[in-house]
């Protein structure tokens, strides 16, 4: 038997770039270079480790829903060590929101076949952190999410969730949907060998027809939410900056008192 792991990865605009909205108020994916979301590298890393520690053969598939360029994200994950990739790409997907994306991912995951779905904690552009829960609901399998530590043994997922109010130790049977946080352990860098090998690994392309999804269920038109306005945050008016020459603390205290914080 083999352990089939599907890792959901997103191609996002670089957060250190000057991110903008396009005219239709979707995320502008032209003005800033894209990359594999750093937070999804953690999911790829944990999937690889689960595979390495598994007694069964593990087959790791990386899956993305995104534009043509999103192949870069898949290549990066393949060069880290994933076995194959699935790219859901269709012009009608432009502008799809979280509910729509989760429907598409769920269909693609079912088509691929899975024992374990792995996600990052949140995408660095949308930052919703809801996709894993949405996938769990749609697939009808347990969610074991926001884990800082994860392991799979004897058909069970175990993990530690460092929540707002408590740290919880969780357990669920496979199949399941897992998400991991940036506390789960640094992701490996692709080796030269890994990069070369990735070029030969299969990347399957699927469109909406392949997944039996109607175009009007997704995209901007099919979206369940609508952005009406996006306003750049007004630049902060330049503040006062002083250099400490022994009086810095006093000057700052004066300022804080003037603002009634003291």
Partner 1 sequence: MAEVLVYVDHVDGAVRKPTLELLTLARRIGDPVALHLGAGAEEAAKTLGEYGAVKVLAADAPEFSDYLVVPKVDALQAAYEAVSPAAVLVPSSSEGKEIAARLAVRIGSGLITDAVDLEAGDEGPVASQSVFAAGFTTKSRVTKGTPVITVKPNSAAPEAAPAAGGVEQLQVAFGEKSTGTKVVSRTPRESTGRPELTEAAIVVSGGRGVNGAENFHVIEGLADSLGAAVGASRAAVDAGWYPHSNQVGQTGKTVSPQLYVATGISGAIQHRAGMQTSKTIVAINKDAEAPIFDLVDYGVVGDLFDVVPALTEEINSRKG
Residues 6+ apart with CB under 8 A from 69: 11, 29, 34
Among 34, 95, 100, 120, binds ligand AMP (CB under 6 A): 120
Q: Is residue 202 a contact partner of residue 84, using CB atoms and an 8 Å limit?
A: yes
> 255 contacts which partner out of partner 1, ligand FAD, ligand AMP, none, CB within 5 to 8 A by kind?
partner 1
Which has the closest alpha carbon to 67: 19, 30, 17, 41?
Answer: 30
DSSP type of residue 259? T
Q: Report how far residue 176's alpha carbon sits from residue 178's, in angstroms, rounded to the nearest whole number.
A: 6
Closest CB to ligand FAD among residues 39, 135: 39
Nearer to ligand AMP, 86 or 198 (CB): 86
d(CA 137, CA 123): 19
Closest Cα to residue 230, out of 16, 11, 24? 24
Which of the 8 DSSP states describes residue 27? B
Q: Which residue lies nearer to ligand FAD by CB, 186 or 216?
A: 186
Check binding of 144 to partner 1 (CB under 8 A).
Answer: yes
- Number of chain positions touching ligand AMP (CB under 6 A): 25
Name which of partner 1, ligand AMP, ligand FAD, none residue 163 binds, using a CB cut-off of 5 to 8 Å depending on partner kind: partner 1
Q: Does 127 bind ligand AMP (CB under 6 A)?
A: yes
Pick from 14, 28, 38, 149 the residue near ligand FAD by CB under 6 A.
38
Which residue in the set 131, 177, 180, 208 belongs to the binding site for ligand AMP (CB under 6 A)? 131
- Which residues, 99 to 128, sit near partner 1 by CB under 8 A? 99, 102, 121-122, 124-125, 127-128
- List, in sequence order, every residue forming a beta bridge with 60; answer none if it has no partner: 5
- With respect to partner 1, which residue has the nearer C-beta, 19 or 201? 19
Q: Which of residues 190-229 bind partner 1 (CB under 8 A)?
A: 223-229
| Sheet of 2-8, strands arranged across | 156-162, 143-153, 176-180, 116-120, 2-8, 57-65, 84-88, 203-206
Residue 61 contacts which entry, ligand FAD, partner 1, ligand AMP, none (Cβ below 5-8 A, type-dependent): none
Q: Which of ligand FAD, ligand AMP, partner 1, none lies near 136, with the C-beta cut-off 5 to 8 A by kind?
A: partner 1
Helix, strand, or coil (residue 113)? coil
Residue 39 found at the interface with ligand FAD (CB under 6 A): yes
DSSP assignment letter at 70: G
**With contact defined as beta carbons under 8 Å apart, do 207 and 90 qualify?**
yes
Site for ligand FAD, rule CB under 6 A: 38-39, 124
């Amino acid at each position: 038997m083999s352990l089939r792991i599907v890792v959901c990865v997103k191609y996002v605009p670089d957060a250190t770039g000057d991110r903008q909205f396009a005219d239709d108020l979707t995320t502008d994916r032209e003005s800033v270079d894209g990359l594999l979301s750093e937070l999804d590298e953690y999911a790829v890393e944990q999937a690889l480790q689960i595979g390495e520690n598994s007694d069964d053969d593990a087959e790791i598939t990386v899956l993305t829903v995104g534009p043509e360029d999103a192949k870069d994200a898949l290549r990066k994950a393949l060069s880290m060590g994933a076995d194959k990739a699935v790219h859901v790409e269709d012009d009608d997907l432009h502008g799809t929101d979280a509910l729509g994306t989760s429907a598409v991912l769920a269909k693609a995951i079912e088509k691929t076949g899975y024992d374990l779905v792995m996600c990052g904690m949140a995408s660095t552009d949308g930052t919703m952190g809801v996709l894993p829960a949405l996938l769990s609901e749609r697939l009808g399998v347990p969610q074991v999410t926001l884990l800082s530590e994860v392991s799979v043994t004897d058909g069970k997922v175990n993990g530690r969730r460092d929540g707002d109010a408590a740290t919880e130790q969780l357990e669920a049977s496979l199949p399941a949907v897992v998400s991991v946080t940036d506390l789960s352990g640094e992701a490996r860098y692709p080796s030269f060998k890994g990069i070369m090998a990735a070029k030969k690994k299969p990347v399957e392309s699927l469109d909406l027809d392949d997944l039996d999804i109607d175009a009007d269920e997704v995209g901007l038109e099919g979206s369940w939410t609508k952005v009406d306005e996006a306003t750049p945050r007004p630049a902060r008016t330049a503040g006062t900056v002083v250099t400490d020459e022994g009086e810095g603390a006093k000057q700052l205290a004066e300022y804080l008192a003037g603002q009634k914080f003291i």
